[in-house]
Amino acid sequence: MAKIISVNAGSSSLKFRLFEMDDETPITSGVIERIGFDDAIFTIKYNGEKDVKTLPIKDHKVAVQLLLEALIDKKIVNSLDEIKGVGHRVVHGGEYFSSSAIFDQDTADKIDAIRALAPLHNPAHLTGYYAFKEAIPTAGAVAVFDTAFHQTMEPSSYIYPIPYKYYTENKVRKYGAHGTSHFYVSQKVIEKLGNPEHSKIIVCHLGAGGSLSAVKDGKSINTSMGLTPLAGIMMGTRSGDVDPSIISYICEQTNISVEEMIDILNKQSGLLGVSGVSSDFRDVEKAMQEGNERAKLARQIFVRRVADYIGRYFVQMGGCDAIAFTAGIGENSFSGRHDILEAIKEALGIQINEDINHEAIGEEALISTPESKIKVFVIPTDEELVIARDTKRLLNL
């Protein structure tokens, strides 16, 4: 029986999920947070229990060793040799990768070559790769790229209207993100539609980070994030699309650097920046209900931006068979879904079963009525399963 572990190494974290791939059963999952600190947190879930420890964890190498020791100590596996594959989430594959790839030195070198496109993520992914390679040398490794699913976009969707040399010389273009989630959710929707030959689906991946995609016949033809995850809809702390001249204007007016301004757009904007309350959608909703006008405005902007992108992709695809909501907000906020759909229902002929929408919290559901011109689904995403499946396929396990 082949066991595969899906890994998501961040700059100071390591998320994991171990599968028995014969039947895709999750065996254990967890996260190691605050790597590099004396009060790092190691959370592991197994057999219906959750074990949480706080301890010093120097770096990712130590974190990986701690994780693997826990798998043995808790008898989740009898030997590390049972783990035949390690699937690594990689945020940015640039134009090198249009699909998942065997994680070897060539793949590592290419990921490193484009680290400037994802400076917080790609170096961390490489650290995770080398740490697991050293700890379990007998296991194969696969890289699964957030950007790969969107490599089917046409140039008219991914080339920016700036001097073309910046694309040819510097690879400045739209790459998108959340591709593994968009792929998984769109495939689930296609199955629910009866596996038609042709389909037009809009996926709304709405969480602390958020993006939408237009998926036509199973392929991404457009997505809201751009060169980096800063573009697109309003997010928890990210601004999403803004007039680029805002950057130079604020820099001149406040005497801050471009780097500081980009940091503000990434970490101090979005729901947090407008509401002044929180980057968490739940906190913003609570504040709005208590009469906070800025929280109300933040939520209205969020709804408007998502609705606008749905309309944009409806036009680009020449219609839409289904809209799917996923990720933290998409799966769990019935009121968020309601307001987004309320904003587009007249234009797109959408009708919602409010009772089902209200009950659909973190579970699959068809929330539109039979009379609705477009089906609307809630589909919990499962990026770790996609990573494990690709790892099994590419390693021939």
To which residue do tokens 């998984």 refer? Answer: 184
DSSP codes of every residue in 329-380: HHHH-HHHHHHHHHHHHHHHT--B-HHHHHH-SSS-EE-B-TT-SSEEEE--
Coil, strand, or helix at residue 166? helix
CA 210 to chain centre: 7
Q: Cβ distance 57 to 36 under 8 Å?
A: yes
What are the backbone dihedrals phi and psi of residue 231, each rounded to the nearest 5 degrees, phi first?
A: -80, 165
DSSP codes of every residue in 61-89: HHHHHHHHHHHHHTTS-S-GGGEEEEEEE
Spatial separation of the C-alpha atoms in residues 309 and 185, rounded to whole Å: 18
Residue 146 bears catalytic tag: yes
Q: Which one, of 143, 211, 142, lies nearest residue 174 by Cα?
A: 211
One-letter amino acid at 135 equals A
Query: How many CA atoms lie less than 13 Å away from 25 in the CB half-sphere?
Result: 8
Spatial separation of the C-alpha atoms in residues 327 and 57, rounded to whole Å: 29
| Catalytic entry in 146, 321, 382, 390 | 146
> Which residues participate in catalysis according to the annotation?
146
